[in-house]
Structure 1
Amino acid sequence: MAQIIEISTQYQLANVVALIRSGRLGEAEARRILVVANNSFAPELTPAADAMPGSRGLLADFDAVIDWNAAIWPNHPKAFGISGERAPIMERALRREWDIGDREPVELIVESLPGHPAGALTQIFATAAISVHSDGLMSYGPIRNPLTLPQWQRLRAIFYTDLLPGITPRQLAEHNPDREVLPTAELASVIDDMTAEVAEELAAAGLDSRIDGSALVLGQYLAQLDLITGEEELELHRQMIDVVRDSGLSTVVFKPHPTSARTTIEPLRRRCEEAGLDFVLADVPLLAEIVVSATRPELVVSCFSTGLATAKGLYGCQTAAVGTERLLADLAPYQNSNRIPLTIVDALHSGRFELPGGLAGRGADDLNGLIDAVTYCMQPSSAGHLRGSAIDFLRSAVGGPDMKYFKRKRLTALDLPGRLQAPLHRKTLSAAKRRLTAGAKRTQRVFKDYGITVDASKLRKNG
């Protein structure tokens, strides 16, 4: 048996290694082949997940490490698919290149389906069983496009980290796969090993030990996604600094997003000086979770980064979210995959929702109902089994603050509570038309009794 495990980010790599070390991917007898895809816009300029600091020790858990970009060069992983006629040819070529026997069974463990590169591997290895490993908060929502028949017939399991205890990811739930849960402690152990490996890099940046009274501010790249403008993103980060100031902490550790522009750093440094806060720049090519593991901040602040959930779930940090309500109003289209992470982060920081069994406060609602309703509104075809739950949630939400998670036009198109009502003049016109039609039919029946045939449409036209 050969397990082909495909990843494209270092966070995914850490999750997969945690699954292996905890025994959740089966016995060690299976030959494990790690396929690394570099999905960045310019992979020539961006290191792949296996080449990033902190990854070296994780690669020992695999029998072979494959560069997917090299295997499909000059194609980009996001764009490379394969036709049914060519798939068997490429399967034979890859089996030979990766030292997999012609008749040796293959199991695929890939990232999000049905997009590439995961989709391409399922096309090539057309008889392999398929499992999916999750990627942060996005796994709690639906996929964008339905699986093909050959994909969902071979789907076996979903592996996910328990970032939201009591919440089951809705990803691919319509196919009822097995669910394998990775406790956060298992992932934290892997992150701690990665932190030890990059001790020199952390020391060079002044991040190698606990920073008392600190808050970690995780920058996001919302302007690059065209969700907000560059100036709006800078103001959003300034507001994050203000949250730290208001919390009474003394130090801001700012970690810009790896793909974001660095033009915000100096304005944020000045904002900290004005607020009387120490400023520590964590501009290092390391996972946010590694920085949390090393510096152990008291507070982590961001917009809707998965880092908020991992900081709380793995290390018990307090968290704060900034700017989520604005983005809920602006995010488009409604099916945007960022909607579920954004909804979850906003809801858990609003004080109105909590995780099942939580103690957030009296009157807080279970988060499951909201996730069901948003998931159904995002993908009503694949999530049709959630319609009843969505209706129940929306009936209680109409007229209240939780309607911010929905678009009225979307609710109208799906005929859900909270939909737009037809204008009064249209209702009146419709009722008058019905009365006129009914009167014409009565007149037609009367004439018919006397043997006279009358066209009802002319009666309606002439009044």
Structure 2
Amino acid sequence: MTQVFHASRFFGAMSLAAAIDAGAFGPPGSAERVLIVTNNAPIPEAALGLDEAPGFGALRDRFDRIVSWNEIIAPLHPSDWKPRSIEAPMLGRLLQSALGLEHIEEMVLESVIVPPARALPGLFKDAMLTIYSDGLMAHSPTRDVLPGEISQRITRLLHLDLVPGLTPLLLGEYGVPAQPLPPGAFTDVVGRVAAASGPMPEGEAIVLGQYLSSLGILTPDEEFKLHADMIRGVIAHGHRSIVFKPHPAAGRRQGRELAQIAAGLNASLTVAPDEVPAEVLFAARRARLVVSCFSTALMTARRFFGLPVATVGADLLLERLTPYENSNRVPVTIVDATIPRLDADGTLTEPSVGDVPGLVEAVAYCMQSAAHPGLRPAAEAYVKANGPMRYFKKKRLEALDLIAKPAPPPPPPPKTGLARLKQIVKG
């Protein structure tokens, strides 16, 4: 028996290790465990692979073998390539033979929506599927409709319990049960990775960058301004040493420019290595404040490491996200509704949302009403109690009959006899 795991991010690999340690995949030695790693960097050849990153040695012993998907499909890029349906059976047999996989009992994937994880179930059609969540995205409705030959094979959704009392919606329309991982298993794994990673940069505050310009949500200039506002807010809050953790895909330019802004305000900024997960920074350094826009790491910082957190720019993202069905909407909503806002003058404003589960269900219904008709009563109750807040678009609420449509304009006044005569002559 063989269990095949897939990871493209260090966060995902740590989640897998925690799940294995917690017994989610049976006792040690019960099956051969093969980890397929992918490097999704724009130029993978110039980027450090997941299994080459500092600290990965702390995860390696959970797996019997580690295989590079990039090497298998080279020179194609893993984020772009997916097999044609007519070729999938043949390629599946060839891959199974080349990898020495006699019988795959279970495939454990970080996604079934986009390549490369989306390609694997189509190649190995006999394996049952476990999906493990990509942070806060697990609370979003499933973005795309899945074919039955995939959805019927998914047995569970493993996830970190990031928001107490909130059950993930991902894959819920297919009847897939959500299974939370014990928080202690995850923090233990992160601690081991931190110990194996070497010295970490020091700072009173940690600012987590997000690569929103690549998604077309913000322009590069707007994204830089957002990060600069975070730096200024942190300094205004009283912190003089900052660690900036850029998004792995963002490059180093922003870090250098942000360091200049910090220096102009009599503070220092150190850029953390790209390959170091934010959670490893949390475990290695007891930060006094962690700031980002809507990163999942805000929740892991608070939930698993007990660190103070704050958000900047979530309200802007709520306006900019298009279409309304954008899967980032629920993560932004959760962060805006549960995390204090850091203002320009350094003050922290606590969120005022009381019923977070009700809000998330209402937003999810507005995003995917056809897939989640059972959420309509919750949406009706929430909107009735709270009105059309900034988490909703008024026209969408009207289209779903969650608020009354505006009255139609009055009919034009009847035309006079002279006007009728002119119309007849004109005609």
Which letter maps to 1:5?
Answer: F
8 A contact 2:109–2:132 mirrored in 1? yes
TM-score computed with the length of structure 1 as normaliser: 0.82
Which letter maps to 1:249?
Answer: H
Aligned-partner Cα distance in 2 for 1:100–1:283: 36
Cα distance, 1:91–1:407 mapped onto 2, change above 3 Å: same
Aligned-partner Cα distance in 1 for 2:79–2:59: 25
Structure having the larger proportion of residues in helix? 1
Task: Indicate which of 214, 217, 221 corresponds to 1:227.
Answer: 217
CA distances 1:116-148 after superposition (whole Å, capped 9, x unpaired): 222221112212111101111111111210111
CA distances 1:374-397 after superposition (whole Å, capped 9, x unpaired): 111222222222122112111222
Task: Indicate which of 396, 400, 413 corresponds to 1:410.
Answer: 396
Task: Indicate which of 411, 416, 424 corresponds to 2:409.
Answer: 424
- Aligned ranges 1:228-243 → 2 under 5 Å: 228-243=218-233
TM-score computed with the length of structure 2 as normaliser: 0.88
Aligned-partner Cα distance in 2 for 1:85–1:228: 39
- Determine the structure 2 residue equivalent to 1:96: 97
Cα distance, 1:363–1:344 mapped onto 2, change above 3 Å: closer
CA distances 1:22-77 after superposition (whole Å, capped 9, x unpaired): 11122221111111122233222222322222112312211111111222233322
- Aligned ranges 1:51-200 → 2 under 5 Å: 51-101=52-102, 104-200=103-199
8 A contact 1:134–1:161 mirrored in 2? yes
Cα distance, 1:422–1:41 mapped onto 2, change above 3 Å: farther
Aligned-partner Cα distance in 1 for 2:38–2:260: 39
- Aligned ranges 1:291-330 → 2 under 5 Å: 291-330=281-320
- Determine the structure 1 residue equivalent to 2:425: none
Aligned-partner Cα distance in 1 for 2:405–2:45: 49
8 A contact 1:174–1:385 mirrored in 2? no
- Determine the structure 2 residue equivalent to 1:378: 367
Aligned-partner Cα distance in 1 for 2:110–2:256: 37
Cα distance, 1:281–1:41 mapped onto 2, change above 3 Å: closer
Q: CA deviation at 1:15?
A: 0.3
Compare 223-232 and 139-148 and name the one that shifted more: 223-232
- Rg bigger for which structure? 1
Which letter maps to 2:409?
Answer: L
* Corresponding residue SS for 1:245: helix
Aligned-partner Cα distance in 2 for 1:84–1:327: 37
Aligned-partner Cα distance in 2 for 1:84–1:280: 48
Cα distance, 1:114–1:274 mapped onto 2, change above 3 Å: closer
8 A contact 1:289–1:310 mirrored in 2? yes
What percent identity do the matched residue pairs reach?
A: 36
Compare 253-262 and 120-129 and name the one that shifted more: 253-262
Cα distance, 1:114–1:233 mapped onto 2, change above 3 Å: closer
Cα distance, 1:405–1:33 mapped onto 2, change above 3 Å: same
- Determine the structure 2 residue equivalent to 1:454: none
Aligned-partner Cα distance in 1 for 2:241–2:63: 40
CA distances 1:408-445 after superposition (whole Å, capped 9, x unpaired): 2222333322x6524433xx57xx9xxxxxxxxxxxxx
8 A contact 1:24–1:180 mirrored in 2? no
Matched, 1:369 2:358: yes
* Corresponding residue SS for 2:45: coil
Aligned-partner Cα distance in 2 for 1:267–1:7: 32
Cα distance, 1:256–1:88 mapped onto 2, change above 3 Å: closer
Aligned-partner Cα distance in 1 for 2:257–2:168: 39
> Aligned pair count?
406
8 A contact 1:9–1:48 mirrored in 2? no
Aligned-partner Cα distance in 1 for 2:54–2:281: 12
Q: CA deviation at 1:267?
A: 4.0
Aligned-partner Cα distance in 2 for 1:281–1:49: 20
Cα distance, 1:383–1:182 mapped onto 2, change above 3 Å: same
8 A contact 1:163–1:184 mirrored in 2? no
8 A contact 1:33–1:66 mirrored in 2? yes
